[in-house]
Amino acid sequence: MRRSGAGMTRPAPCEIDRRRLLAGAASLLAAVALPAERTAAGVAAVPAGGLSLGELAAAKGLLFGASFATHELDKPYGASYAATYAREARMVTSELELKLYTMRPKATALDFGPADRLVLFAREHGLALHGHNLIWNDALPDWIRRLGPDEAAFLMDTHITTVLERYRADIPTWDVVNEPIAPWDRLPGNLRGGVFYAALGEGYIAESFRVARRVAPQARLFLNEAQTESDDENGAVFRASLLALAKRLKAEGAPVDGIGLECHLDSRRPYDFPRFAAFVEELAAEGFEIAISELDVNDVAFPADPAERDRKVADVYRRFLAAVLPVKAVRRLTLWQIADHTSWMYYDDVRLHPKALRRPRPLPFDERFRRKAAWSAIAEALDAMPPR
């Protein structure tokens, strides 16, 4: 994370994802094919009986899942990773597979490999899929960043069309535009700049949704945004900017079905979760379905002791979900990965601090896929929430 202007937090771009994705492609499907029962090595026993998070959520009419990265299947723990999703989740979100730098590394190459693999995994395990994402002014290969306005507008329409034509039968919900707000870019509406904005101005957003609706009329189309949660100036600016954008899109009839709120919670920031829930209600009152789309808890400011840290992280999940799950418009809850060592925070930490003894513990499963305190906190919140 980099700070940029007025306390805004601009996420650092990550160029290594494509290499990560491709690293193990040779052993394609080796792990996918393993049934859950054959994953004993390295997996702690899950208590017999009892419902999974996905089952607890489904009982309330909420779709529960997590982002999923196919390259994890090629790791020594790949079978355990697969089994954890098969057991706990009802849906998976593509973490890297559909991003532009994965699919279009070069102007002359279109790579469906990772996304096809994800579709196959979801099908084999009976998991729903959420497509993340079609258009984002990040995760772009350099050749797209250099496009002129006409080329960028053409690519935008072509990309949405090509991807939806291929996957519309398998992927029912999509983040059509990701993270359109970036106050540090100092553009009208606090919109984020980039090639698509340069080509069409704010209109790139509505146009993306219109193309998506035309190509995949059955799909549920989402706008996804970050940083709306914190009870500080940053959160307030993101909330106001997103609400205003959502209202403008609605006013011009753009086919936006829902809003995804990422909710990467951070131990360094202040929160007032009931106040955030009031904002979620406000968005919902405009007629949008709501998804909590990328939930995790950055524990960097919590104590070093792992057990104590796990309790603190669990407490954030507990308080956040207790405030937000009562909002009936929230129909999907997605964690950003499922186990600590497969989190983006863990990867970043290893890259930035290779020798550190302490590693992030942001998720409900540990490095051996054992349930942690956060698992219980989420389970209890799902159990206590009102049904949809």
For residue 19, what are its two tokens? 């290499």
Amino acid at 267: S
Report the site for ligand XIL in 283-302 (rule: CB under 6 A): 294
Point out which span in 11-19, 208-216, 246-254, 304-312 binds ligand XIL (CB under 6 A): 11-19
For position 203 contacting ligand XIL by CB under 6 A, the verdict is no
Residue number with CB closer to ligand XIL (17 or 97): 17
CB 72 within 8 A of CB 342: yes
Q: How far is the CB of 55 from ligand XIL (least distance, A)?
A: 26
Residues in the chain: 388
* Bridging pattern class, strands 258-261 and 264-266: unpaired
Residue number with CB closer to ligand XIL (207 or 262): 262
What are phi and psi for residue 109, nearest 5 degrees?
A: -125, 135
Residue number with CB closer to ligand XIL (18 or 318): 18
CB 225 within 8 A of CB 179: yes
Residue number with CB closer to ligand XIL (347 or 385): 347
Point out which span in 9-17, 48-56, 239-247, 267-275 binds ligand XIL (CB under 6 A): 9-17
For residue 284, what are its two tokens? 């919902």
Choosing from 17, 72, 229, 296, the residue that interacts with ligand XIL (CB under 6 A) is 17
Report the site for ligand XIL in 339-358 (rule: CB under 6 A): 344
Q: How far is the CB of 218 from ligand XIL (least distance, A)?
A: 24
Choosing from 72, 74, 95, 310, the residue that interacts with ligand XIL (CB under 6 A) is 95
Report the site for ligand XIL in 256-275 (rule: CB under 6 A): 262
Q: How far is the CB of 42 from ligand XIL (least distance, A)?
A: 22
C-alpha–C-alpha distance, residues 277 and 313, integer Å: 19
For position 178 contacting ligand XIL by CB under 6 A, the verdict is yes
Q: How far is the CB of 145 from ligand XIL (least distance, A)?
A: 16
CB 309 within 8 A of CB 361: yes
Question: Which helix or strand (DSSP H or E) is residue 116 part of?
Answer: helix 113-125
Closest CA to 369 of 66, 90, 70, 46: 46
Residue number with CB closer to ligand XIL (39 or 343): 343
* Bridging pattern class, strands 173-178 and 258-261: unpaired
Point out which span in 10-18, 111-119, 166-174, 318-326 binds ligand XIL (CB under 6 A): 10-18
Residue number with CB closer to ligand XIL (179 or 207): 179
For position 102 contacting ligand XIL by CB under 6 A, the verdict is no
Residue number with CB closer to ligand XIL (12 or 41): 12
For position 72 contacting ligand XIL by CB under 6 A, the verdict is no
Residue number with CB closer to ligand XIL (229 or 294): 294
All residues at 6 or more sequence positions from 70 whose CB lies less than 8 Å from its CB, including other chains:
21, 96, 97, 114, 117, 118, 121
For residue 191, what are its two tokens? 């919109």
- Helix (H), strand (E) counts: the chain: 14, 11
Closest CA to 19 of 80, 67, 74: 74
All residues at 6 or more sequence positions from 240 whose CB lies less than 8 Å from its CB, including other chains:
none
Choosing from 1, 7, 10, 14, the residue that interacts with ligand XIL (CB under 6 A) is 14
Q: How far is the CB of 178 from ligand XIL (least distance, A)?
A: 5
**Cis peptide bond prior to 133, omega within 30° of 0:** yes
For position 11 contacting ligand XIL by CB under 6 A, the verdict is yes
All residues at 6 or more sequence positions from 26 whose CB lies less than 8 Å from its CB, including other chains:
none
Residue number with CB closer to ligand XIL (74 or 294): 294
For position 222 contacting ligand XIL by CB under 6 A, the verdict is no
Residue number with CB closer to ligand XIL (302 or 347): 347
Strands (E), the chain: 2-4, 8-10, 63-68, 91-94, 128-136, 173-178, 220-225, 258-261, 264-266, 289-298, 330-335
Question: Which helix or strand (DSSP H or E) is residue 261 part of?
Answer: strand 258-261
Q: Which residues bind ligand XIL (CB under 6 A)?
A: 11, 14, 17, 95-96, 178-179, 226, 262, 294, 344
